[in-house]
Amino acid sequence: MPRCLQFAAVIMLFTQVTAPAAGPGQAERQPIFPFPIQQTTLDNGLSVISVPFDSPGIIAYYTVVRTGSRNEVERGLSGFAHFFEHMMFRGTRKYSQEKYNDVLKSLGADSNAFTTDDWTCYHTTIPATALGTAVEIESDRFENLKYDESSFQKEARAVLGEYNKNASSPFLKLEEAMQNTAFTRHTYKHTTLGFLEDIKDMPNQFAYSKIFFDRWYRPENCTIVATGDVKHDELVSLVKAHYGSWARGKASVEIPTEPLQTEPRSAHVSWPVPTLPTLYLGYHMPASDPANPDIAALAAIEQAVFGETSPLSRELVLKEQKVVTLMAEASPHRDPGLFSIIARIRTSADLPAVRQRIADALAEAGRTPIDSARLDAVRSHLKYAYAASLRSADAVAHAVGESIAITGRPDAMNDLFAAFERLTPADPQRVAARYFIPTNETVIILETEKKK
């Protein structure tokens, strides 16, 4: 690759190491993320991150694109970030789709991709000896993707197939109804799959797909994360050689701001065959900036009010057995998202009572500080759950990739867990009183369709 090597010679690098050990004066607290993170930014804006640790012979190689369904601002083109994730496997002039697959096959790679509201991720787990090949074929498709209209249209129908497989679950309908009802202007209004009518129309959007690639598949919007049996210098050298000539982009879009909700909202979803009645509640919450203390406090409420040892869960699930599943999630998002609560209920007759019990539990959380022993248990639970989640090179790369995608930094989890440590019993009370109010609430109810 003489062209790339020549260019690489003039690339300026900015390297920093985020060490896991606490500095002077902070000796009492170890960061939650246990491995050193090394980061280098190339002159073209491409970030390169390595997390070496004991994973003999295996590397997880992630390309994080900070584009998800959040970026789909044009009407009629929802779901395109996810669709484009599919198109990225359709080949280049140098590596046709077949040849690309043959190379991955020869490596024995586990390779796939996924898209969320906020990011698109291309992930490959490979033998450490194959790092050079992975960098070459991944850089090639990010810089030189090439597909014709026929394969574009066939892939559009594979995406419809993905919608079809998900559509046999009522949870897709619930999610669609929640996002469509809770959001009025922001692009979180549609799910990552997109509106069904837009998915059906995808074969007609070949020209737009070129705009989409040109707009978002640019070095300053991407980060390479390699974890496991990897050496940072070797990785950077390979990335410089292969991605160095990738030109920065110019385009950007304005993502609409969601106006403040001022009245309760609701929707009803019916299901054609018997299903458990389900209550799905959403409350707008801030973007996942770890500097915002409300984020840690809401995560504590998720556990303390709705976790499996919470009083509400013990009563509704274990003692009264009215509810089969009770869960809440303060899902991390780049823009203000939703704190969601889901209760699958045994019979429809109990829906109003369960809804009232959840409202009472939230009101109580807003009136009373959390018990300090309970807060300690929540902190301990979150800490050990996180430690257990980092069980493979792939899991570590995912954790770092998500941090980059949501916050722009690879180590935001350290700040979040430091914020958990700083929480006082009054913090969850404060955020409960602030966010769990009727004018910030969206209620979706799922029930079996009534026979006529």
Partner 1 sequence: MNGKQRIVLALSLGWLLLTAGSTALSAEPGQTKVADKSAILISSPSSPLVSFRFVFRVGSQDDPSGKEGLAALTTAMIAEGGTASLSYEQLLEKFYPMAATLDGACRKEATAFQGTVHRDNLKAYIPLVTELLTAPRFAPDDFKRLRNEALDYVTKTLRGNNDEELGKWTLQCDLYKGHPHGHPDRGTVQGLKAITLDDVKAFHKRYYTREALTLGMAGGFEPAAASQVESNLASLPRQAQGLPPLDPPAVRPGLEVTIVAKPAEATAISIGFPIDVTRRDEEFYALAVANSYLGEHRTFNGKLMQDLRGKRGLNYGDYSYIEDFIQEGMSTFQVPNNPRRQQYFSIWVRPVPRDKAAFALRAALWELDRLATEGMSPADFEATRSFLLNYSKLWVQTLSRRLGYAIDGQFYGRNDLVTELAERLRRLTVEQVNAAVRKHLKPPGMKIAIVARNADELRDILTSGKPSPITYDTQGTPENILAEDKQIAAFPLKNVTVKIVPVERMFEE
* Interface residue with partner 1, options 3, 99, 105, 185 (CB under 8 A): 105
Q: What is the amino acid identity at position 82?
A: H
Burial readout 250-276 (b: 16 or more C-beta within 10 A, e: otherwise)? eeeeebeebeebeeebebebebeeebb
* Smallest separation (angstroms) from partner 1 to the CB of 211: 20
**Span interacting with partner 1, options 95-103, 132-140, 260-268, 329-337, rule CB under 8 A:** 95-103
* Site residues (CB under 8 A) for partner 1, limited to 400-429: none
Shortest reach from residue 58's CB to partner 1, in Å = 6
Footprint on residues 147-166 left by partner 1 (CB under 8 A): 148-150, 153-158, 160-162, 164-165
Residues pairing with 51 in the sheet:
227
**Length of the chain, in residues:** 452
Q: Indicate whether 360 belongs to the interface with partner 1 (CB under 8 A).
A: no
- How many C-beta atoms lie closer than 10 Å to residue 308's C-beta? 12
Extended strands (E) in 66-175: 110-115, 120-127
Dihedral angle computed from the Cα positions of residues 385, 388, 389 and 394, in that order, rounded to the nearest 10 degrees: 170
Instruction: Select from 144, 270, 380, 439 the one that contacts partner 1 (CB under 8 A).
Output: 380
393 is an interface residue for partner 1 by CB under 8 A: yes
Structure tokens that stand for 426 in this block:
């009054």
> Is 270 an interacting residue with respect to partner 1 (CB under 8 A)?
no
Q: Which is nearer to partner 1, 27 or 273 (CB)?
A: 273
Residue 78: name the closest of 156, 159, 194 by CA: 194
For the bound state, the minimum distance from the C-beta of residue 387 to partner 1, rounded and expressed in Å, comes to: 6
Q: Does 138 bind partner 1 (CB under 8 A)?
A: no
| Among the listed residues 332, 333, 334, 323, the one whose alpha carbon sits nearest the alpha carbon of residue 280 | 323
CB of 393 to partner 1, least distance (A): 7
For the segment 173-212, give every residue that binds partner 1 (CB under 8 A): 203
Residue 69 CB, nearest approach to partner 1 (Å): 18
- Window of 237-245, 249-257, 287-295, 314-322 that interacts with partner 1 by CB under 8 A: 314-322
Strand ranges in 100-220 using DSSP code E only, listed in sequence order? 110-115, 120-127
Rule CB under 8 A: is residue 302 a binding residue for partner 1?
Answer: no
Specify which residues 321 forms β-bridges with.
none
14 touches partner 1 (CB under 8 A): no
With H, G, I as helix, E, B as strand and everything else as coil, classify residue 448. Answer: strand
The Cα–Cα gap between 124 and 98 comes to: 17
Under rule CB under 8 A, residue 99 binds partner 1: no
235-to-113, 215, 351 alpha-carbon distances in Å: 21, 26, 55
Q: If binding is defined by CB under 8 A, does position 120 make contact with partner 1?
A: no
Dihedral pair phi/psi, residue 388, rounded to 5°: -75, -20
Pick one of 355, 381, 409, 434: the residue that binds partner 1 (CB under 8 A). Answer: 381
- Considering beta carbons, is residue 277 or 282 the nearer one to partner 1? 277
| Distance from C-alpha of 92 to C-alpha of 139, rounded to nearest angstrom | 11
Burial 345-361 (b: 16+ CB within 10 A, else e): beeeebbeebbebbeeb
Rounded distance, CA 65 to CA 401, Å?
9
Q: Which residue has the tokens 């018990």?
A: 371
Region of 13-21, 76-84, 174-182, 308-316 interacting with partner 1 (CB under 8 A):
308-316
Q: Is 132 in the site for partner 1 (CB under 8 A)?
A: no
Task: Please select the residue that binds partner 1; options are 388, 422, 450, 451, rule is CB under 8 A.
Answer: 388
> Per CB under 8 A, does 326 bind partner 1?
no
Contacting residue, 211, 255, 377, 418, with partner 1 by CB under 8 A: 377
63 binds partner 1 (CB under 8 A): no
Residue 125 engages partner 1 in binding (rule: CB under 8 A): yes
d(CA 122, CA 89): 10
* Contact status: 327 vs partner 1 (CB under 8 A): no
Query: Among residues 6, 16, 30, 309, which is the contact residue for partner 1, using CB under 8 A?
Result: 309
Q: Between residue 26 and residue 55, which ones bind partner 1 under the rule CB under 8 A?
A: 34, 54-55
Q: Which residue has the tokens 């009803």?
A: 268
Assigned token pair, 12: 């300026």
* Interacting residue with partner 1 among 4, 20, 74, 97 (CB under 8 A): 97
Q: Is 352 in the site for partner 1 (CB under 8 A)?
A: no
Smallest separation, CB 79 to partner 1 (Å): 14
Distance of closest approach, residue 251 Cβ to partner 1, in angstroms: 28
Cβ at position 294, least distance to partner 1 in Å: 23
How would you list the strands of the sheet with 278-284, edge to edge? 265-271, 441-448, 278-284, 338-345, 323-330
Stretch that binds partner 1, among 35-43, 137-145, 244-252, 376-384 (CB under 8 A): 376-384
| CA 69 – CA 85 distance, rounded (Å) | 11
**Sole window of 15-23, 134-142, 255-263, 389-397 interacting with partner 1 (rule: CB under 8 A):** 389-397
